[in-house]
Structure 1
Amino acid sequence: MHLNRTDSELLNLLIKDGRMSYADIARKLGISRAHARTRVQALVESGVIEQFTAVINPDKLGKGISTFVDLTVAPSAIEHIAEELSGCVEVVSLYIMSDLKSLHIHTLTDNYDAFDTFVRERIFNRDEILSVDCKSLMTRVKHRRGGARL
């Protein structure tokens, strides 16, 4: 789907506030409320907008340990491992990378003991996981809260 200027501006508004009303969108874009509703519905139906969601502050939930884990996995097992790990509550995002043998994982845990338990139960001592590289977040400088800007 090709986005026109109105659609791009509309998406940027929804990225900042997914609960913005059609009336507020219309006012900001200088279009009618009905047109705003029609454009949002078209973007949903075309799959450009996959879902509306809340952005949670992990620190407010006591999830202060943010860790990035890169795994090298036997290619024959990558989909199985990715599916299994994506179901873990500690995993907030998981990507299969272009080399088709690497997983990039972001985890959030209450503390380092909880992270240690996660890696011992889910990652260590598995023959199909060939290597592990792990780094904990120190400081957020720029992050995706509100999503990408178009």
Structure 2
Amino acid sequence: MTDLDQKILQILIDDGRRSFADIARELGISRVHVRDRVQKLITDGVIEKFTLIVNPEKIGSTVSAFFDVEVDPQGIEAVAEDIARQPEVRSLYIMSDMSSLHIHTLTQDSKALEDFAHRNLFSRKHIVKVNCKTLLSRIKNRRGGPRI
């Protein structure tokens, strides 16, 4: 990836709606060149998709919770796949110890969070331990960047 590609990516991370013409003007290159570079980044899998960031409080999801879930290693993939399909789950990661999941959820309120935990965690086979922390305040939001 070139320095130009890095600059284009940073512009799109900051504002995915920027037009090729705007990016071209900012970088001092042609609109066609920007379009070609972005298309190559998509083709090469560097850009996976364009998306947006929604303020969860504006859509009624006021409880942001982070679960660390210890799972029997033989069940971790099945548990992860099933929990990832739940609408409350915003991100889910299998951690390097291969026996724990890190899950971020958004729910309307504490009752909905408790319902999620009972439905998906407390009664599930292979889950050994559940730790949950709720968000108090956002200091820095992740806007784009590498997929982790």
| TM norm structure 1 | 0.95
Moved over 3 A (4+): none
Q: Distance between the aligned counterparts of 1:80 and 1:127, measured in 2?
A: 10
Partner of 1:147: 144
Question: What letter corresponds to residue 9 of structure 1 in structure 2?
Answer: K
Unaligned runs of 5+ in 2: none
Deviations 1:114-144 (A, max 9, x none): 0000111110022300111110000101120
> Equivalent residues in 2 for 1:1-150 (5 A)?
3-144=1-142, 146-148=143-145
The 3-state SS of whatever aligns with 2:122 is coil
| Structure 1 alignment gaps of length 5 or more | none
User: In the TM superposition, what whole-angstrom CA distance separates every residue of 1:62-115 from its partner, at most 9, and x where no partner exists?
Assistant: 100000000000001000000000000010000001111110000000000000
Query: What is the CA deviation profile of residues 24-83 of structure 1, one whole-angstrom value per residue up to 9, with x for unaligned ones?
Result: 010111110010000000000000000001111101001000000000000010000000
Distance in 2 between the 1:17 and 1:139 partners?
Answer: 24
What's the % identity of the aligned pairs?
50
